[in-house]
Structure 1
Amino acid sequence: MSLGRCPGQDRRYWKPDDIFEEPCPHCGGLIEFWKDDVNLRCPHCRKLVTNPRFDPGCAAWCSYASKCLGDMAAVYQRQPRVIRDKLEVEARKNLFHHRELLNLALKAAGFAEKIAREEGVQPLVAIAACLFYDLGAAGEKASSTALAREIMTRVGLEPEIIDQVVKIIAARDTVLDDPAWQVVQEARRLAKTVVESQRPGRQVIAAAMDRGDIQGN
């Protein structure tokens, strides 16, 4: 069975502005780009010019991206933001039936990204550790680490990063002399505070206290 052609590459679906001209950044001569051109040689100065309007979005996810973009597809798929998004998708799939754990993981990952940058820690280590910290919903560390390693390998994380994440997940609440572990713990602490404050019972109590119906300690 033959595969259907990607609509984005099938020129029957193109619009007039999918073919356009841009000035060469080297000589100023006009270059005609088609929207799926990644690089072209300027016909005037012969220097290689990148298409300024090329959108690599599909390359991040499409399993056939390498057929369209060649080696360039791998470059886009290794971008940290692309990998972070893929890790989040995996967390959502694996924690779908554990909504509170998922909520905690997503919020912790958000805090971890910011804290990691401030502390000079590799953000992807902290983000992945937060997203996969509770994969073993029943508290089985072995299943958490094995599943996390399998997911991260499939997503394309570097082996060094995967080993660091697994070390943090395996340790859990055991104190490690590791800046990344400290970032993860702080991010989870902040996330737990937010999740706790969002629980319906807490919101009802807070509203009642604001109205003066009940008194705090």
Structure 2
Amino acid sequence: MKCPGQDSRFWQPGAIFEAKCPECGQMVEFFKDESKRRCRACGHMFVNPRMDFGCASYCKFAEQCLGYLPPEILAQREALLKDRVAIEMKKAFKKDFRRIARAMKVARYAEKITLQEGGDPAVAISAAYLRDVGAGAADGEERGATPAREILQRLGAREELIDAVCRIVGHRHDAEAEADTNTRIVHDAELLADLEEHGKEAAADAAAIREGIRRRLLTESARALLDDLPMEA
């Protein structure tokens, strides 16, 4: 079934209009359902100025429907993706509130570290949410990434993003300094989340615990966060 907003049978007057080319000023004719047009005068390709791309920011069929998505919409889709991944994580864990709370903490730290380290928020934060969804799965680490892949595919994420997230989710042992930025971010976010969760239980050994965590951290941003993390009961 075609989206009614894109079906010409429902069009009103003004569905065919002209827009000025931003490069040369020549008038270019648009149909309301065209996402882009090339100017015949100068060859510049530009986006339909009257098109509402609102649904494209979340609909997984947007590219099939519209054929083209502007860069700002692609960025918005991935910004929204992490929020939808959080919802799917909660569905996967159901009433396991302890695991939900831990995933939320890891994602919170991943977001803070990403802002400083220059990682990809959609990859790092999604991996932080999904890291434990496949934990304990049989037949090796890669099998553990399967639930994460299924969730991201269901949400319509890019295949490159899915592969990047699943590499992190399936990498259960400690990351190394040579790992990619997003892997280091999630690794450090998990350490900080664990310290926040269990640090107060061992406040008497706070200094030793903090130093042990510091040696395992891979990013300067996480070390700065560690210094601000209270350990007292």
> TM-score under structure 2 normalisation?
0.56
CA gap of 1:160–1:131, structure 2 versus 1, over 3 A, is closer
| CA gap 1:66/1:128 in 2 versus in 1, 3 angstroms | closer
Match of 1:200 in 2: none
- Kindly state the Cα deviation for residue 6 of structure 1 after the two structures are TM-superposed: 0.9
CA contact (8 A) 2:79 2:122 kept: no
Q: Residue 126 of structure 2 corresponds to which residue in structure 1?
A: 128
Where does residue 28 of structure 1 map in the other structure? Answer: 25
Report the Cα offset of residue 39 of structure 1: 1.3
Corresponding residue of 1:205: none
Q: In the aligned structure 1, how far is the partner of 2:98 from the partner of 2:82? A: 21
Stretches of structure 2 lacking an aligned partner (at least 5 in a row): 178-183, 199-232
1:177 aligns with 2:181: no
SS of residue in 2 equivalent to 1:8:
helix
Give the aligned length. Answer: 183
Which AA in structure 1 matches 2:85?
Answer: L
Is residue 110–residue 185 contact of structure 2 (8 Å, CA) maintained in 1?
no
Q: Are 1:84 and 2:70 an aligned pair?
A: no
Which residue of structure 1 lines up, in the alignment, with residue 36 of structure 2?
Answer: 39
Q: Secondary structure at the match of 2:133?
A: coil
Matches within 5 A, 1:11-160: 11-14=8-11, 21-42=18-39, 44-59=41-56, 61-62=58-59, 64-70=61-67, 72=68, 80-81=78-79, 83-99=81-97, 101-106=99-104, 108-135=106-133, 140=136, 142=138, 144-152=144-152, 155=157, 156=159, 157-160=161-164
- Sequence identity (%): 34
Q: Over residues 3-35 of structure 1, what are the superposed CA-to-partner deviations in whole Å (9 max), with x where a residue is unaligned? A: x32122124545667655432111223334343
Q: Distance in 2 between matches of 1:182 and 1:105?
A: 13
Match of 2:225 in 1: none
Which has the larger displacement, 53-62 or 125-134? 53-62
Q: SS in structure 2 opposite 1:88? A: helix
Match of 1:188 among 190, 193, 196: 193
Q: Deviation of residue 102 (structure 1)?
A: 3.2
Q: Distance in 1 between matches of 2:15 and 2:97?
A: 42
- 1:64–1:116 CA distance, 2 compared to 1 (3 A): closer
Structure 1 unaligned blocks of 5 or more? 194-216
What is the RMSD of the two structures over their aligned residues, measured on CA atoms?
4.0
Q: Post-superposition shift, 1:166?
A: 1.8
CA distance in 2 between partners of 1:150 and 1:43 (Å):
43
